[in-house]
Amino acid sequence: MRKRGGVCGGSSLELSHCVGANSLGPAVPWRSGGPCKMKRVRTVFKPEQLERLEQEFLKQQYMVGTERVDLAATLHLTETQVKVWFQNRRIKWRKQSMEQKAAKLSQFGVIQPATADSTDIKDHEEDTVDVEL
């Protein structure tokens, strides 16, 4: 994981550069947190972290409370990173499950209604965000 401070000041978020500074447009406030808009750099998980997160997901799809805090500390991640990883992984799991179900139904010539898509999944899952605190 790499942390870079933005041009417009320090923050605990991973930020890359100030959008609008030295560019074609004017500087845009980012959530009222400063004079310019900052773009966050996506978290890159180490293979060991991903392996452990996947192991834990196979045991339980929801991780809460002290379990999440402990796992985050063990993996040198924030609790928010672990929470968001689990949210995103649940969506991936549901999508894969629906695709497998659709493939099985199509093998038997059963036509599945077109209403089951990724937007239905998001209705049942909290908004997925990739944010660090």
How many whole angstroms separate alpha carbon 33 and alpha carbon 18?
Answer: 12
The model's confidence at residue 113, banded by pLDDT at 50, 70 and 90, is low
**10 C-beta neighbours (distance < 10 Å), count:** 9
> Is residue 125 classed as helix, strand or coil in its secondary structure?
coil
Q: Per residue in 17-61, pLDDT tens? A: 554 444 444 444 545 555 667 787 888 999 999 999 999 999 999
The model's confidence at residue 130, banded by pLDDT at 50, 70 and 90, is low
CA atoms within 13 A on the CB side of 90: 18
CB 81 within 8 A of CB 128: no
Q: Per residue in 66-104, pLDDT tens? A: 999 999 999 999 999 999 999 999 999 999 999 988 888
pTM here?
A: 0.57
Q: Which domains does the chain have, with CATH numbers?
A: 47-105 (1.10.10.60)
